[in-house]
Amino acid sequence: MRITTVGLDADDTLWHNETIFRLTQDRLRALMADIAPPETLNATLAEVEKRNLRLYGYGVKGFTLSMIETAMELTGANPPGRLIAEILAAGREMLGHPVEPLPGVEQALAELDGYRLVLITKGDLLHQEQKLAASGLGDLFAAVEIVSEKDTGAYRRVFDRHGTGAAEAVMCGNSMRSDILPALEAGCWGAYIPYHITWAHEVAEPPGDHARFVELRSISELPAWVRGLN
Amino acid sequence: MRITTVGLDADDTLWHNETIFRLTQDRLRALMADIAPPETLNATLAEVEKRNLRLYGYGVKGFTLSMIETAMELTGANPPGRLIAEILAAGREMLGHPVEPLPGVEQALAELDGYRLVLITKGDLLHQEQKLAASGLGDLFAAVEIVSEKDTGAYRRVFDRHGTGAAEAVMCGNSMRSDILPALEAGCWGAYIPYHITWAHEVAEPPGDHARFVELRSISELPAWVRGLN
């Protein structure tokens, strides 16, 4: 067994992301507290997001548009005072949010020296590039691939292009649905590192007893596991 | 002189784009006719777009957010009835708009048989992929690169990765600022094919008397010009 390449997810694997979405959603709930009970807002927003995913894809801009649409629906298209302006401001703040590597990330990436590291992420192209730049981790990666959907074909293409094929690659991330299952299907090894919260859309059943799958408690455990495969 | 690779811009080079933005802006002007004179709306929207470009980048989602912000500004954060919902609907329609190749595109691409064709575009990742799929032109391209900014470094990277370097590549597009000047700077040949309207942000002075620059009247003239370079 030879591993040449390690693919890493970005959001909630290298830095916080879902937390920022949840905090923004908390803020929307507070802004609309007089209009809709929290569970109604949560359910409506989830429904609007799901409906828009095909058109908007992943990322903050689509989320902001879905928050506005939710506000319109719940106010009978009559949003009070500055509600929409507040939502626009919340979206802009998400885009400008500082990016800090999660604990252990820098050291783990340094210990993976000798492997080709490829960042594989989805979301808004510009925003993902800006986050990588702000994280200070950019130089550690041999390649960065921002894709519209993390499916089996995407993993095959990325590891053919930037490595020696999926069979000699590990994919590491916090989303069972986007980072692990399609990567295993493509022939990669999969290292699942849960983040403490997961967006409903990204939840999926683990693959069970799979020879190429491992669940790790932290990214600090990744280098030793990868080296153990060789 | 050897040319191996032809880079092609997508929006307003292969299919209509700016027209759809202008029609949507017309619609916003009509929706807000009682609130703001047309020139005020145009000026405010242009200013908001410019201010947001650094955060939102290019594409329909950012444009939709900027239209909403413009509506908020011009109504004193008190938008009437269904205005915001109408803007959201207009944005969604832009994303779902049918894509048809401009006249001559399919034949020109077919005549460039033997060259490696690379699509190079900016905007929302998912939307650009969807437009390419809808255009039916996807199979003609050896590679597709969706970038956040078309600068000199981007052209160098793309033609290093997908071709034999910038010096053996032609870049063809309708934006002097994004398709031609940085590509010439990177060492490519530049074929400028104006579209009948240009977004203010994309306007730039032509390079004057430049050995590697040509202006063509239509993409139908591209294959003969490229072959003439060899």
CATH code of residue A212: 3.40.50.1000
The shortest C-alpha distance from B128 to chain A (Å) reads: 10
A11 & A124 share domain? yes
CA of A53: which chain B residue's CA is closest? B126
Domains held by chain B: number? 2
Q: What is the pLDDT of residue B200?
A: 85
Q: What is the pLDDT of residue B164?
A: 97
What pLDDT band is residue A188 in, cutting at 50, 70 and 90? very high
A190 & A108 share domain? yes
Q: What is the pLDDT of residue A106?
A: 97
Angle (CA) B47 B201 B18, round 5°: 100
Distance CA A183, CA A199 (A): 19
Chain A residues near residue B95 by CB distance under 8 angstroms: 55-56
pLDDT in tens, A37-61: 999 999 999 999 999 999 999 999 9
User: A72, A96, A120: which is the final residue of a domain?
Assistant: A96
Distance CA A32, CA A81 (A): 11
Q: What is the pLDDT of residue B80?
A: 87
Contact B69 A88 (CB under 8 A): yes
* Contact predicate B51/B65, CB 8 Å: no
A114 & A203 share domain? yes
Is residue A140 pLDDT above 80, yes or no?
yes
CA of A96: which chain B residue's CA is closest? B55
Chain A residues near residue B62 by CB distance under 8 angstroms: 61
Contact B64 A65 (CB under 8 A): yes
B198 & B111 share domain? yes
Contact A77 B72 (CB under 8 A): no
Q: What is the pLDDT of residue B208?
A: 83
B192 & B104 share domain? yes
First to last CA, chain A: 5
The shortest C-alpha distance from B124 to chain A (Å) reads: 7
Q: Residue B79 burial (CB < 10 Å; 0-12/13-18/19+)?
A: buried
Chain B residues near residue A148 by CB distance under 8 angstroms: 125-126, 129
First to last CA, chain B: 5
Distance CA A125, CA A157 (A): 18
Sites in chain B below the pLDDT cut of 70: none
What pLDDT band is residue A208 in, cutting at 50, 70 and 90? confident
The shortest C-alpha distance from A139 to chain B (Å) reads: 16
Report ipTM for this prediction. Answer: 0.91
B40 & B146 share domain? no
pLDDT in tens, A74-112: 999 889 878 999 999 999 999 999 998 999 999 999 999
Residue among B85, B129, B147 minimizing CB distance to A72: B85
B108 & B146 share domain? yes
Q: What is the model's pTM?
A: 0.93
- List own/partner pairs for A161-164 with CB under 8 A and 24 or more apart: A162/A5, A162/A116, A162/A118, A163/A4, A163/A5, A163/A116, A163/A118, A164/A4, A164/A5
Contact B146 A125 (CB under 8 A): yes
Q: What is the pLDDT of residue A81?
A: 75
B184 & B84 share domain? no
Could you tell me if residue A169 is left (phi over 0), alpha (psi between -120 and 50 degrees) or otherwise beta?
beta
A131 & A174 share domain? yes
A166 & A80 share domain? no
Distance CA B215, CA B173 (A): 10
What pLDDT band is residue A116 in, cutting at 50, 70 and 90? very high
Chain B residues near residue A126 by CB distance under 8 angstroms: 56-57, 148-149
A30 & A91 share domain? yes
Contact B85 A78 (CB under 8 A): no
User: B96, B112, B147: which is the final residue of a domain?
Assistant: B96
What pLDDT band is residue A209 in, cutting at 50, 70 and 90? confident
Q: Which residues of B touch A (CB under 8 A)?
A: 55-57, 61-62, 64-65, 68-69, 72, 77-79, 81-82, 84-85, 88, 91-92, 95-96, 124-127, 129, 146-149
Contact A57 B85 (CB under 8 A): no
Distance CA A134, CA B114 (A): 42
The shortest C-alpha distance from A28 to chain B (Å) reads: 17
Distance CA A117, CA A6 (A): 5
The shortest C-alpha distance from A57 to chain B (Å) reads: 6
B89 & B105 share domain? no
Residue among B77, B92, B95 minimizing CB distance to A81: B77
Chain A residues near residue B64 by CB distance under 8 angstroms: 65
Chain A residues near residue B76 by CB distance under 8 angstroms: none
Q: What is the pLDDT of residue A82?
A: 87
A195 lies in which domain range?
5-15+100-229
